[in-house]
């Protein structure tokens, strides 16, 4: 039996990781607080550092600029939303794929209603627009992997139509992302039926024709 020294390389690495996690949590929590407080506008890295009670150089050692902090924050918040929905809605079922569609719609509704993303759309549309028109962010890539896994599982159970899971996942992301971004535009028409209609759109796109 061996006793690991508290100052061993493994212990030092664990302490460094814990410190890094604590710093990330403090800075990202502070960034969220500042974005909400200032309604998405005029937030600076100095504001975030001050709210987190750390120095700007401390923040710069981990993130090159404020946009990197906000990207990390968005990734954390989307991961949190997805995990919360997954905890209450099954991804896969042999009685059909309605719960899986429900999960996607619930994630979409939670992102749509989240204060952070609402404020970013109002105050910093320039920050989010590149991830709509120009490139995929880390959060979107994570969602694509999750969607592709669920689609492949649904194909194995016979409820999802044939096709490349990655390509089907990309279109599901496009449909869902567009629905979130344009929700305010069609609010007078869809009202509370937004979720229902999104569910129909996704189910119609994914469902195997033999399972109608």
What domains, with CATH codes, occur in the chain? 1-63 (1.10.10), 68-211 (1.10.357)
Q: Is the pLDDT of residue 60 over 90?
A: yes
Q: What is the pLDDT averaged over residues 85-102?
A: 68
> Is a pLDDT exceeding 80 seen at residue 105?
yes
Confidence of residue 127 (pLDDT cuts 50, 70, 90): confident
pLDDT for 132 beyond 80: no
CA trace torsion 189, 190, 191, 192 (10° rounding): 160
* Reported pTM: 0.79
End-to-end CA distance of the chain: 62
**pLDDT at position 56:** 95
Is 50 exceeded by the pLDDT of residue 10?
Answer: no
Predicted pLDDT of residue 109: 93
Per-residue confidence (pLDDT) for residue 3, from 0 to 100: 43
Q: Which residue has the tokens 């500042």?
A: 34
């Amino acid at each position: 039996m061996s006793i690991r020294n508290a100052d061993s390389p493994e212990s030092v690495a664990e302490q460094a990781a814990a410190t890094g996690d604590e710093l990330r949590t403090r800075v990202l929590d502070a960034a969220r607080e500042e974005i909400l407080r200032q309604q998405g506008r005029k937030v600076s890295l100095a504001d975030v550092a001050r709210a987190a009670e750390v120095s700007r150089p401390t923040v710069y050692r981990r993130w090159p600029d404020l946009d990197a902090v906000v990207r990390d924050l968005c990734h954390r918040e989307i991961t949190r939303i997805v995990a919360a929905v997954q905890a209450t809605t099954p991804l896969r079922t042999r009685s059909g794929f309605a719960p899986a569609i429900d999960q996607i719609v619930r994630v979409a509704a939670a992102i749509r209603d989240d204060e952070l993303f609402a404020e970013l759309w109002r105050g910093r549309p320039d920050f989010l627009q590149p991830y709509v028109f120009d490139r995929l962010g880390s959060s979107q890539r994570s969602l694509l992997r999750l969607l592709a896994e669920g689609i492949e599982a649904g194909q194995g159970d016979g409820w999802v139509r044939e096709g490349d899971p990655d390509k089907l996942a990309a279109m599901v992301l496009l449909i869902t992302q567009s629905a979130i971004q344009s929700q305010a535009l069609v609010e007078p028409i869809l009202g509370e039926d937004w979720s229902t209609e999104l569910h129909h759109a996704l189910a119609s796109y994914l469902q195997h024709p033999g399972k109608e």
